[in-house]
Structure 1
Amino acid sequence: MDRTVIDRPADGEDHTCPQCGRPFARAEYVTFHRGLEHPETLTEEDRTRFAEVYRAENDEIKRFRLKALAVLIGMYFTFLYLYLVLA
């Protein structure tokens, strides 16, 4: 497992995993890590929080994919029109 050193958040809060001590930049990342790496230690409240963080992460990934697709389509048509004009 990669134990890369990260910058501590400006708010001064400590975001580390209570099971393995791995540091994270945000509290959501700790929740996500604990749900994936230490599911046996989660309480019901922790499981609910993990589900919320997991859904939010999936929504962000879907938005990124749609934006990336829009950029690729835009680039495709831009180059197509340039080819038609310059050829």
Structure 2
Amino acid sequence: MEKQVFVARERELAQLDGLLQRALAGQGLVCFLTGEAGSGKTALVTEFARRAQEQYADLAVAVGQSDAQTGIGDAHLPFREVLGQLTGD
């Protein structure tokens, strides 16, 4: 499988990096990434996580997802997914 090229999202990556720096400084936060289907949300967060883990080897990354069809009935699903990943459940 050919490696996907990631382009033209440096501004968004810089914003995410700013949030990471705040978290590393002890300012806890949650970031929600929203957008239309196919707009590159998954590619953006995947690239950000890859870069962050290269820079910080002990960084734990967890992702929760929700969508308009399945997420309406369970607004807490993304949080449960993240907590499950971080706790090993």
TM over 0.5: no
Structure with the larger helix share: 1
The structure number with the bigger radius of gyration is 1
Compute the TM-score of the two structures, normalised by the length of structure 2.
0.28
Which of the pair has the greater relative contact order for Cα pairs under 8 Å at 6+ separation? 2
